[in-house]
Amino acid sequence: MKTLVLTTASALLLASVGVGYAINTDPDKTLVSENDTAMTQKAQIDTEDINDLLEYDKLDEVADASKFNTQVVENNPHKRIILLKDDNGQPQFKSIFVKDTNRLKIINLHEGLVYNEIIK
């Protein structure tokens, strides 16, 4: 009988702590670290200086990037993803550059993979 009472009391205590935590937690609050802010700023800078990126020459050669509007979708320490959009804002090409290995993949969004090599 003592075991049943102690087990029930423990379960109620754990449940009340969980409910209390859930009530006091505000899901609308998100923590933004300085590192996230720095990455966002770096992505904005790279968008402006897209011609200076390591993969841009090959991207221009394969997909004629100068005819498209470029958008850096993701830029972190490991990879950079660039979309090439037409005048209507529709993505036509996607570039994935893996910084660790210098591998560049260029994908024509209508025909598939058109380039997949390591660049220097």
Assess contact for 59 and 65: CB atoms under 8 A.
yes
Q: Would 79 be classed as within a structural domain?
A: yes
Q: Virtual CA dihedral for 32, 37, 38, 39, nearest 10 degrees? A: 90
Q: pLDDT tens, 64-117?
A: 998 999 999 999 999 999 999 999 999 999 999 999 999 999 999 999 999 999
* Assigned domain for 16 exists: no
Who has greater pLDDT, 87 or 40? Answer: 87
Per the rule left: phi > 0, alpha: psi between -120 and 50, beta: everything else, 112 is left
Question: Bigger pLDDT: 20 or 81?
Answer: 81
Predicted confidence band of residue 27 (pLDDT cuts 50, 70, 90)? low
Local confidence band at 25 (pLDDT 50, 70, 90 cut-offs): low
Give the number of other Cβ atoms within 10 Å of residue 82's Cβ: 26
Task: Tell me whether residue 104 is in a domain.
Answer: yes
Higher pLDDT, 49 or 51: 51
In a domain, 85, yes or no: yes
Domain membership of residue 106 (yes or no) is: yes
Domain count across the chain: 1
Residue 9 lies in a domain: no
User: Averaged over 48-54, what is the pLDDT?
Assistant: 83
What range defines the domain where residue 113 resides? 34-118
Average per-residue pLDDT for the chain: 81
For residue 17, is it within any domain? no
Those residues with Cβ within 8 angstroms of residue 79's Cβ, 6 or more apart along the chain or in another chain: 96, 97, 98, 99
Structural tokens at position 41: 């700023």
20 domain-assigned: no
Is the C-alpha dihedral spanning 100, 47, 74, 84 positive or negative? negative
Q: Which residue has the tokens 């004629």?
A: 64
